[in-house]
Amino acid sequence: MAHIKKVLVIGATGHVGGHVVSQLAATDVEVRALARTPAAASMPTGVEVVQGDLTKPETLTRALDGVDAVHLTWPALPADAAKAVVEVIAEHARRIVLLSSGAVRDDVEEQDNPIGKAHALIEQPIRDSGLEWTFLRPYGFATNTLEWAPQIRTGNVVRGAYGAASMTLLHEADIAAVAVRALTSDEHIGARYELSGSARLSRVEQVAAIGAALGRPLTWEEITPAQARAQMDWLPAEFADYILGGLAAMVDAPGPRTSTVQEVTGVPARSYAKWAADHAADFA
């Protein structure tokens, strides 16, 4: 099959998309980055930045010109937007890698949770499009723990619920490394990759790892689920309930662990300690 020469990264300013851009830029593939506000997007040398907005699919046409493959981060838009976006992508590119979610279930008619639902809405038109596709279905991102940064910047205590909840958080660079393989090699067409970090850590242990990266001891202080829920009012209610319910469940049944990052990239997923060291400046 013909070589992938040019990739458009949608979500290029995001945690995962940013690494997709920088990792691709280190190869011989031409990289174009989509941004809603190009002036605010800082990209590696040689990466072309083009304006576009997924809520206005017609703005994607220019960005898609001459592109072979697309990396798509999906901001939970409604079904009609999903269909329109996939249509315009399929008119120009032949391959798509979707940053989906481990919350999507293949064993049900209707998704039973809001995050799975939001991603299934974009997976379906992609499956129907004739594009070569790969779905990345990660479990929790380590970047979720950036929510503790305001507390850590101003003290040595992190207050949260379900400190014993244990999970395998992913470094965004590992998700991107899988995406780059899927974008540039034919081997991953049609794959639905469930991705996780390599080791389980409780939230208490995650806070301790951030402390180790910063060189100062941090402690966990347990608050009630109701107190935690009250602090999540910036999220749509059903998302907040689902996330908090997930944490409660992971106290007794730790989050899933897969070896997919290693199988696809040849190296084990980065540890949470490595992520904390890479992000020390965000907490300092």
Ligand X SMILES: NC(=O)c1ccc[n+]([C@@H]2O[C@H](COP(=O)([O-])OP(=O)(O)OC[C@H]3O[C@@H](n4cnc5c(N)ncnc54)[C@H](OP(=O)(O)O)[C@@H]3O)[C@@H](O)[C@H]2O)c1
Beta-bridge partner residues of 133: 96
Instruction: For residue 89, state whether it binds ligand X (rule: CB under 6 A).
Output: no
> Does residue number 247 form part of the binding site for ligand X (CB under 6 A)?
no
CA–CA gap between residue 76 and residue 57 (Å, rounded) = 14
CA-to-CA distance for 165 and 276, rounded, in angstroms? 18
Binding piece for ligand X, criterion CB under 6 A, among 7-15, 244-252, 259-267, 268-276: 7-15
- Number of residues lying near ligand X (CB under 6 A): 25
DSSP-derived 3-state class of residue 45: coil
Q: Of the candidates 141, 148, 193, 275, which one interacts with ligand X according to CB under 6 A?
A: 141
One symbol per residue from 187 to 226: x for binding ligand X (CB under 6 A), - otherwise; what is it?
----------------------------------------
- Angle between the 237-252 and 114-128 helix axes, to the nearest 10 degrees? 100
Q: With binding defined as CB under 6 A, does residue 23 bind ligand X?
A: no
Q: Minimum Å distance from CB 75 to ligand X? A: 4
Q: Applying CB under 6 A, does 53 fall inside the site for ligand X?
A: yes
Nearest approach in angstroms of CB 1 to ligand X is: 28
Nearest residue to the partner ligand X, using Cβ: 14
Which whole-number Å values give the CA distances from 69 to 37, 52, 132, 242, in the listed order? 22, 16, 9, 33
Least distance between ligand X and beta carbon 16 (Å): 4
Kindly tell me which of 51 and 151 has the beta carbon lying closer to ligand X: 51
Q: Which two tokens stand for residue 145?
A: 């723990």
DSSP code at position 148: G
With CB under 6 A as the contact rule, the residue among 11, 160, 163, 211 that binds ligand X is 11
Q: Which two tokens stand for residue 202?
A: 């409780």
Residue 27: which region, alpha, beta or left (left: phi > 0; alpha: psi -120 to 50)?
A: beta
Parallel/antiparallel/unpaired status of strands 69-73 and 132-138:
unpaired
Contact set for ligand X, span 103-122 (CB under 6 A): 115
As to burial, measured by CB atoms within 10 angstroms (0-12 exposed, 13-18 middle, 19+ buried), residue 230 is exposed
Query: Residue 282's closest CA among 140, 151, 170?
Result: 151
Q: Which of residues 73, 196, 202, 260 is near ligand X by CB under 6 A?
A: 73
**Phi, psi (degrees; rounded to nearest 5) at 278:** -65, -25
- Nearest distance from C-beta of residue 122 to ligand X, angstroms: 9
CA-based nearest residue to 178, from 263, 254, 106: 263
The yes or no reply on residue 54 touching ligand X (CB under 6 A) is yes
Window of 123-131, 137-145, 178-186, 223-231 that interacts with ligand X by CB under 6 A: 137-145
Q: Residues interacting with ligand X, by CB under 6 A?
A: 10-17, 35-36, 53-55, 73-75, 99, 101-102, 115, 138, 140-141, 143-144
